[in-house]
Chains A and B, each alone.
Chain A
Amino acid sequence: MSLSDYHYEVSHCHRCSYCKFVPFQVMKSRRFFQGCPSIAFRNFHSYAAGGRVILALSIIEGRLKEYTETLAKIVFECTMCGACQVQCRTYNYNLNPIEVMQELRTHLIENGQLIPEHLMVIDGLKREDNVFGEPKADRNRWLEGLEIKDINTEKADVLFHPGCRTCYDEEFWDNARAAVTILQNAGVDVGTAGKEDSCCGGRAYEMGYKGELVNYAEALAGRIKASGATKLVTPCADCYGTFKAYFPIVGQELDVEILHTSEMYDRLIKEGRIKLKKEIPMKITYHDPCKLGRRGEPGIPWEGEYKRVEPHIFAPVPEKPVKLGLGGCYEPPRDVLKAIPGVELVEMERNRIHSWCCGAGGGAMEAFEDLSTWTALERIEEAKSTGAEVMVTACPWCERNFRDAIKEAGGGFEVFDVTEFVREAMGG
């Protein structure tokens, strides 16, 4: 699909603003009625999905002929959290804003309108196979001292994919090691890709660099095939969403079961292979990472076109899969937390498919720090409003962004990973 293939969809936006708000059926307060961080931060309609859809229409119809920095800023100053998609689809079934926004990004990059900060990421990625441009040789420092199979030399049932954030942000090494140890102690046969381990390509894709995603998808699919693994497990929601949603879209279905660590824990707890004995008397709230939740919904590739099937009725032929985020992973992390003695889990107003983003996605963290930080702090306010003592989540990108934002705002709240709670509840 190219941008012009979306002509029908983008000319059928109603300008109703539903993309901006949590659906009115589940909205709970004026304080947290906004659904889209980008418009909530910038306020101009341009920064809503509806605004970007208009820009897409304008480009397709040849009204906007120049690709400018302003255009790129509008298109990219968005976390690609996908709330707009859910919100729009509760109302308009002829438009998929998140697809349009992804296609706009790819289109701008293909036409040479780059975001400099993203280009740096991509350069680093091409050089070192990670989004930080850090030496490739350092990728496995996180597992020093850990006994774990290397799938290049041994067979393993589970391929553990840590993701760039975990590999290069020391703050998450402990967690990743804990995750592996928890799995191993539960009798899971785990391995890593060793020196072959690399980026998933998801962030590059969201920055508009589709080719990078295709390359990494092919490489990983090859590695998995050779390894004989039956499961791909990751502690990173960003990678999870990439494997589940983006790989199939670019034609690369992985021939394994894709699981987030929290899903593995949930399974193992329910099978009695992980025992959570230690009490953690704490009121907590859980933040749904977008790429684990609504954007972790399995992607279904679609090639087709809108055809006039009857006078005045144009329908996608073949029928287009509906994306409402319902196929994302919502309950396993919650079930894990609820299984911990003493834990009281309270929900934020915007949860599951209606969750508010952490602000780290879509290249926002790399290029639009103000949006990123503001978005995170909004979420922290929501978390605090529940009376929870801490927030727990399931993605190192979310955690990084939350922790940095909290620090910038002077502290006063803490964010943890599900793994930290599991480890603690298992007795440390």
Chain B
Amino acid sequence: MSRKMPDEAYEEFKQVAGENNVSIEPEVLETYTYMNGLAQGAMGFHWNRKPIGVVLPSTLEEVRKILEICTRYGLKFKAHSTAWVIMALATSGNVVLLDMRRMNNLEINERDFFLITESYPPAGVAQIEAMKKGLQPHLVGAGPNASNLASATSMQGTGGTSVRTSMNERNVLAVEWVLPTGEVLKLGSINTPGAGWFCGDGPGPSLRGMMRGAVGQVSGNGVFTKVALKLYPWYGPEYKGGGEPPFFNSEEVPNSYLKYVLWDSFDDEAEGLYRLGEAEIIDYNNRWAAGAFTSAMTTSNQEYLDAEAAGKYKEMFGKGFWTFFMHAPSERSLKHRIKVFEKIVSDTGGEIADPMIFGKRSYEIALQNAVRAIWIAKAAYMPTSANTGSMPMTYENIDQCFKYALPISVNAKKEYANQDKILNEGADNCYACIDEDGHYIHIEHACLIDTWEPKGEPGGAAMVGMAKALSKGMGLLYMSWPGSLKDFIVYLQYSAQIQSMIDPNGIADSSGTMGASYLAT
């Protein structure tokens, strides 16, 4: 049951954040109740729990006071950054949402290779500023519109550059964190006066693991107000685009190499990936199949259908393909990398294709993915606008994913696609990237669905895929979650214990952890 915000609490919120930055108006709250696209949204449940209020804090102190008010009045809270994902919305009846939009500061520390970001700045904005200084942050596959802080502290963290820039949870240095009790916890070097933001640990035991668990606690552990994140070299010049949307024209990136690679079998694919990873030459990688490619290449649903009917993308990319991007500090270094790249691809039976193969559009898509993570999410949503996701999503080793999990997933999906329960865009519509030079791989298997489709059966394929994977002992492989259901439940129990320790009044609105909310979907 949704409650109403107590009048006194409302007054106090207004005193803290300013009258214009608090709303309990039903029309405003309505706009914080809807989400389409993934998880429940993709299942047709566009409308979620309505918060009882939304507050827009602008400082650490305001956040602290807001959580204190929540505690005093027995209200729950949830913070979000850009709210690109359904976990950003309220899940219980008396939630005050902290929309962190006004916490928008960003600082680049050029000398020490890190940035300090508040909650809101979209990752793409951070990247634009960093590139001016020859640096780049990690961008997740969600795209440049998602917040780096949210990704690093609270949810997931992988993307096509993870091969070079790691996963966002590993990029976290010092953190400013408001616990649900309103206490401020500073992780890492900022806890030592004058030491700055350069380090995530110390003094004492590291708490970064507790902060996000395996995947992020989706605001269940408090509110993060500032985080320092590692930056990586960008050999310049800054990326520049112009021309006409939606494909635009990018200026050429000097000393870079952009190619597609196609392998014939999952075995060869896995071998190629291991070796490319080991060689430490790749700066961006992304696997797509024909479905995602068609979504990215087209500008209307009719055009999508026409492209499907023409069949040339399916013919070329039916078994999936990879985009690889290398960006070197010098021409000589690039030449060396290209040699290594070509040798590995050839040794593993791969075929190299030029991204211009389907014209300027396909080149732009590949390049903009590589340098700004622009097209992944579009391909995950169009033409249906929803994706019931992925079965199983994994964050494990390449063998497990390609030789075992993906075939299970592809077969499970076939049954559903053939009956039109999901879009039949080819059974393999797997998105993947290798992380940290191939030590890990992240895969997601798209199941597109239009919620208006009468035959649609959202979630079914994902569930069947998951069940089949579980029966083969691979189950819940998602990020660093334990694979078996039994171990996963232990993980959830640990998470819940940590949460009850740092949130003794139980005011964080989180369906336990990211894990629990995942299971709930």
Contact = CB atoms under 8 A, between A and B. Distances in A.
Interface in B229-287: 241-242, 244-246, 248, 250
Interface stretch (B4-12, B21-29, B328-336): B21-29
A148 interface: no
Interface stretch (B379-387, B400-408, B506-514): B379-387
Contacts of B480: none
A277 B205 CA distance: 75
Given A44-B28, A63-B30, A14 B37 contact: yes
A44 B46 contact: no
B250 A55 contact: no
B56 interface: yes
Contacts of A184: none
Interface string B434-469: 000000000000001111111110000000000000
Contact of B383 (A42, A43, A94, A353): A94
Nearest to A50: B31
Contacts of B220: none
Given A70-B27, A74-B28, A314-B450, A12 B144 contact: no
Given A15-B36, A43-B21, A94 B452 contact: no
Most chain-B Cβ atoms within 10 A of its Cβ — which of A50, A94, A312? A312
A328 to B, nearest CB: 12
Contact of A16 (B301, B377, B420, B450): B377
Interface string A323-355: 010100000000000000000000000000100
Contacts of B37: 14-15
Nearest to B425: A312
A74 B420 CA distance: 40
A29 B302 contact: no
Interface stretch (A19-27, A216-224, A379-387, A388-396): A19-27
A320 B300 CA distance: 9
B71 to A, nearest CB: 24
A68 interface: yes
B488 interface: no
B452 A308 contact: yes
A120 interface: no
A324 B299 CA distance: 12
B27 A64 contact: yes
Interface in B366-393: 368, 372, 374, 377-378, 381-385
A17 B145 CA distance: 7
A26 B144 CA distance: 12
Interface stretch (B99-107, B175-183, B490-498): B99-107
Nearest to B381: A14
B245 A89 contact: yes
B340 interface: no
Contact of B448 (A14, A29, A30, A312): A312
Given A57-B46, A68-B27, A313-B423, A25 B83 contact: no
B368 A309 contact: no
Given A28-B128, A43-B101, A312-B449, A17 B82 contact: yes
Nearest to B128: A27
A54 B102 contact: no
B113 interface: no
Most chain-B Cβ atoms within 10 A of its Cβ — which of A45, A71, A92, A314? A45
A213 interface: no
Dominant secondary structure of chain B at its interface with chain A: loop
B521 to A, nearest CB: 16
Interface string B292-313: 0000001111101100000000
A255 B230 CA distance: 61
A17 B83 contact: yes
B122 A21 contact: yes
Nearest to A57: B34
A308 B453 contact: yes
A147 interface: no
Contact of A313 (B26, B99, B383): B383
A46 B34 CA distance: 11
Contacts of A12: 36, 385
Contacts of A27: 124-125, 128
A215 interface: no
B121 A30 contact: yes
B372 A30 contact: no
Contacts of A15: 34-37, 83-84
Most chain-A Cβ atoms within 10 A of its Cβ — which of B31, B121, B241? B31
Interface in B21-57: 21, 23, 25-28, 30-37, 46-47, 54, 56
B424 interface: yes
A312 B246 contact: no
Interface in A1-57: 8, 11-18, 21, 23-30, 33, 42-46, 50-51, 54-55, 57
A84 B84 CA distance: 17
Dominant secondary structure of chain A at its interface with chain B: loop
B422 interface: yes
Contacts of A74: 27-28, 31
A411 interface: no
A313 B374 CA distance: 23
B144 A24 contact: yes
Contacts of A313: 301, 304-305, 383-384, 423, 450
A27 to B, nearest CB: 6
Given A24-B374, A313-B301, A16 B145 contact: yes
B385 A14 contact: yes
Contact of B99 (A43, A64, A310): A43
B129 A25 contact: no
Nearest to B121: A30
A91 B378 contact: yes
A315 B300 contact: yes
A51 B29 CA distance: 10
Nearest to B50: A63
A320 B449 CA distance: 22
A312 B374 contact: no
A399 to B, nearest CB: 28
A186 B54 CA distance: 60
A226 interface: no
Nearest to B44: A11
A409 interface: no
Contacts of A30: 106, 121, 125-126, 128-129
B420 A311 contact: yes
A314 B377 CA distance: 20
Contacts of B106: 30
Most chain-B Cβ atoms within 10 A of its Cβ — which of A16, A28, A70, A322? A16
A6 to B, nearest CB: 13
Interface in A276-306: none
Most chain-A Cβ atoms within 10 A of its Cβ — which of B20, B101, B106? B101
A312 B453 contact: yes
B54 A44 contact: yes
A311 B36 contact: no
7 tightest A-B contacts by CB?
A25-B241, A311-B420, A315-B301, A51-B31, A12-B385, A312-B423, A46-B31
16 contacts: A8-B452, A11-B36, A17-B83, A21-B122, A24-B144, A24-B145, A25-B245, A27-B128, A33-B122, A54-B34, A55-B27, A70-B27, A89-B246, A313-B304, A313-B423, A315-B305
Given A25-B250, A93-B383, 18 more contacts: A13-B36, A14-B36, A15-B84, A21-B145, A23-B248, A42-B20, A43-B102, A44-B23, A44-B99, A74-B27, A74-B28, A89-B246, A92-B385, A308-B453, A312-B424, A312-B450, A313-B305, A324-B245
Interface of A: 8, 11-18, 21, 23-30, 33, 42-46, 50-51, 54-55, 57-58, 63-64, 68, 70-71, 74, 86, 89-94, 308-316, 319-320, 322, 324, 326, 353
Interface of B: 20-21, 23, 25-28, 30-37, 46-47, 54, 56, 82-84, 99, 101-102, 106, 121-122, 124-126, 128-129, 143-145, 241-242, 244-246, 248, 250, 298-302, 304-305, 368, 372, 374, 377-378, 381-385, 420, 422-424, 448-456
